[in-house]
Structure 1
Amino acid sequence: MEYLPICLRLQAVNVLLVGGGKVATRKARLLLRAGAYLTVVAPEVSAELAVLLEQHKGLWLQSRYASEHIKGQSLVIAATPDKAVNAQVHQDAGALGLPVNVVDTPELCSFIFPAIVDRSPLLVAVSSSGHSPVLARKVRRDIEALLPAASGRLAEFAGRMRPLINERIHEEGPRRLFLEEMVDGAVAELVLAGREAEAEKLMREQLADLATLKQGEVYLIGAGPGDPDLMTFKAARLLQRADVVLYDRLVNPAIVDMARRDAERVYVGKRRADHAVPQQDINRQLLELAQQGKRVARLKGGDPFIFGRGGEEIELLFQHHIPFQVVPGITAASGAACYAGIPLTHRDYAQSVRFVAGYLKGNEVRHDWSEFLSETETLVFYMGLVGLGEICTQLQTHGRALETPVALVEQATLPTQKTLVGTLATIEAIVAEAKPQAPTLIIVGNVVRLHRELAWFAEEG
């Protein structure tokens, strides 16, 4: 380890910055945000730096650097293009035993600036020990994508609650376990959602009866149409927290693999005429696992509230007072349409869109087909592959033109995606020849005409 990461408290601390250009301005932003009393020595400063100094009552000494400038300072940064000046600053600071940073010159630094993820008061610092600042910034961006924007709010909440927790739980071990649950459980989720009053109420209830910490929770997570990159940050975070994962047939295995390595995985998928686990059994499993004190992630393809039967699953949880969260996912219609270059609405073609269940009951797709006749409305049929012929027949019978464009999107958003395009009169034959495999989605309407023009996803078919 070349450097020891240390957080310096700079509020009301005298800091000298030598240089006034773009690099110096970037350093000044950080120093002033940390509350430093900043003195800048430079013949000229950037317009932004001048404004920053004025706003924060900093001092600009409009001159070249001289050794006397360093007196009375506690921290020194050199950010000039002049190597001789930078070397002199390093020498002067070393003589006085002051921490010094010479930008982009690690051999002249006693400390370095890490890349920072700022969720104040929570801070995450990433350093490459000066070897690759670009890599450090890339890692910082990755962390920022995973760390909720409201993490600072959670840190402040934990700080406020700590005296109360210390008063209630005297032993270090149980107190640590309680704090871990607080920042990684239902209380934390309420704080992150901006519901701090509810979070404090729940935390006080847990302190009053520590046995309540054994109660489980269910996360009903929309896994999206397939591409793991389309998962939301919250979905990924809760999936990592779960002790048990129940997942559907339509959930990409790569998404299931995003769960904790030690999490139990339970397949509860269903396909036409083959319900591996009946819906009522899935509902019961969620309840029983939560009652055992486990955190359960229920992964559902697409969005759990759009033909996902999510409402049925949480209804039983609600009846038994089991905490649950619902995380929306990108529904198949949106994912398939976007990747196929078919806008579901378009000023020139469609002013509304309708999502329709397309599966057969008996040998029929049961709908009031007279409602589906508008040429300015896009129809999206879920689960309609087997019922495609019936769908086309009913739309034609009730007045839709034979030349109405139709697209069938197979394996939407995945590398294996294919889009088959035809009309109400031709699409059934096209599909019969291509033999696509579920999951598929059917889009009916004039917006399909834009497929070849707007499709960006490389696909066959």
Structure 2
Amino acid sequence: MIETLPLFHRIAGQPVVVLGAGEAAEAKRRLVERSGGLVVDDLEEGIARGARLAFIAHDEETSAEADALRARSAGLLVNAADRPRLCDFTVPSILERSPVLVAIGTGGASAGLAKQLRLRLEMLLPRSLGDLAKALGAARTALRSRFPDAGERRRALDGALAAGGALDPLDEGSAAKVASWLAGAERERGGTVEITLRSGDPEDLTLREARLLGSADIIAHEQGTSDAVLDRARADAVRVVLAEGGTPPKGEGLVIVLRSPPRA
């Protein structure tokens, strides 16, 4: 189970309250401005202007608690620097490959850990990743025309974007290949694939099994299949519970049947 729900919040042109002095407050102001938000230094003014977010960076505990309460009572979501118990949301460490953003959070446990993870990922993800995203966005209409069915479209993209695929995101040259890939892309049919699990640990899935699970339209699984494995599937995939040894359902697209591990 995830402890917080990651969201990307659009604040460009919107008022955002930032209270406090010192480096922590300045860092929040820079973050808001970097995202296109309008910094408001007064809580009452921010409330009057319809602000939805408040960053509170007071050194004094009582001031932080009082302003957090006032902001929350007015309907704002609150982030209080270095005070996780006062926070409605936390600020992740951000890796930018605009328009691709990778946000790394630890639920307020360790900003240092989030930063070090970001620095590792900085070395892995090429600067061209944003160009690939823009090229795919520009090809959206053509992609829908070539693959009118949403399932076929998703499977074609999954195959192209997989490791070693025609549009591998870690390949610096992928952005320039979108048009040629789309011109020759083949339709990827659905079907039914059975996977006999080796355990309830998703790390025991092969790379192929993990990819299929993440691409499936329907997940048919036996009672007792671990949530950790099921969490590797798409959130919007249809889930069906099967009796042990039961017959999987038929349906359009890719159906994955998860069988329980063999009994010892």
Instruction: Establish whether TM, by shorter chain, passes 0.5.
Output: yes
Are 2:18 and 2:54, in contact at CA under 8 Å, matched by a contact in 1?
yes
Are 2:52 and 2:75, in contact at CA under 8 Å, matched by a contact in 1?
no
Q: Which residue of 2 aligns with 1:97?
A: 75
Mapped partners of 1:262, 1:38: distance in 2: 45
1:186 and 2:166 equivalent?
Answer: yes
Q: Secondary structure at the residue paired with 1:186?
A: coil
- TM-score of the superposition, structure 1-length normalised? 0.38
Q: 1:260-302: per-residue Cα shift (whole Å, max 9, x none)?
A: 9659xxxxxxxxxxxxxxxxxxxxxxxxxxxxxxxxxxxxxxx
Q: Tell me the CA shift for residue 194 of structure 1.
A: 7.6
Q: For the structure 1 residues 157 and 68, does the alpha-carbon distance in structure 2 shift closer, same or farther, using more than 3 Å as the test?
A: closer
Q: Which residue of 2 aligns with 1:280?
A: none
- Counterpart amino acid of residue 68 in structure 2: H
Q: Which residue of 1 aligns with 2:11?
A: 10
- Counterpart amino acid of residue 150 in structure 2: E
Greater relative CO, 1 or 2 (CA 8 Å, sep 6+): 2
- Counterpart amino acid of residue 99 in structure 2: P
Q: 1:115-148: per-residue Cα shift (whole Å, max 9, x none)?
A: 1111111111111111112112222222222222
Q: Tell me the CA shift for residue 26 of structure 1.
A: 1.7
- Counterpart amino acid of residue 17 in structure 2: L
Q: Secondary structure at the residue paired with 2:94?
A: strand
Q: For the structure 1 residues 170 and 201, does the alpha-carbon distance in structure 2 shift closer, same or farther, using more than 3 Å as the test?
A: closer
Q: Which residue of 1 aligns with 2:97?
A: 119
Q: Which residue of 1 aligns with 2:27?
A: 26
Are 1:154 and 1:191, in contact at CA under 8 Å, matched by a contact in 2?
no
- TM-score of the superposition, structure 2-length normalised? 0.63
Unaligned runs of 5+ in 2: 189-204, 209-264
Q: For the structure 1 residues 4 and 190, does the alpha-carbon distance in structure 2 shift closer, same or farther, using more than 3 Å as the test?
A: closer
Equivalent residues, number:
188
Q: Which residue of 1 aligns with 2:136?
A: 158
Are 1:67 and 1:92, in contact at CA under 8 Å, matched by a contact in 2?
no
Q: Which residue of 1 aligns with 2:243?
A: none
Are 1:87 and 1:108, in contact at CA under 8 Å, matched by a contact in 2?
yes
- Counterpart amino acid of residue 18 in structure 1: L
Q: For the structure 1 residues 69 and 6, does the alpha-carbon distance in structure 2 shift closer, same or farther, using more than 3 Å as the test?
A: closer
Q: Tell me the CA shift for residue 75 of structure 1.
A: 1.1
Q: Secondary structure at the residue paired with 2:13?
A: coil
Are 1:93 and 1:99, in contact at CA under 8 Å, matched by a contact in 2?
yes
Q: Which residue of 1 aligns with 2:145?
A: 167
Selected match of 1:71 from 36, 39, 48:
48
Q: For the structure 1 residues 116 and 190, does the alpha-carbon distance in structure 2 shift closer, same or farther, using more than 3 Å as the test?
A: closer
Mapped partners of 1:189, 1:125: distance in 2: 17
Mapped partners of 1:103, 1:36: distance in 2: 18
Q: 1:338-378: per-residue Cα shift (whole Å, max 9, x none)?
A: xxxxxxxxxxxxxxxxxxxxxxxxxxxxxxxxxxxxxxxxx
Q: CA RMSD in A?
A: 2.6
Q: For the structure 1 residues 21 and 180, does the alpha-carbon distance in structure 2 shift closer, same or farther, using more than 3 Å as the test?
A: same
- Counterpart amino acid of residue 31 in structure 1: V
Q: Secondary structure at the residue paired with 2:109?
A: coil
The residue correspondences of 1:276-287 to structure 2 (distance < 5 A) are none
- Counterpart amino acid of residue 26 in structure 1: A
Percent of residue pairs identical: 30
Unaligned runs of 5+ in 1: 42-65, 214-259, 264-461
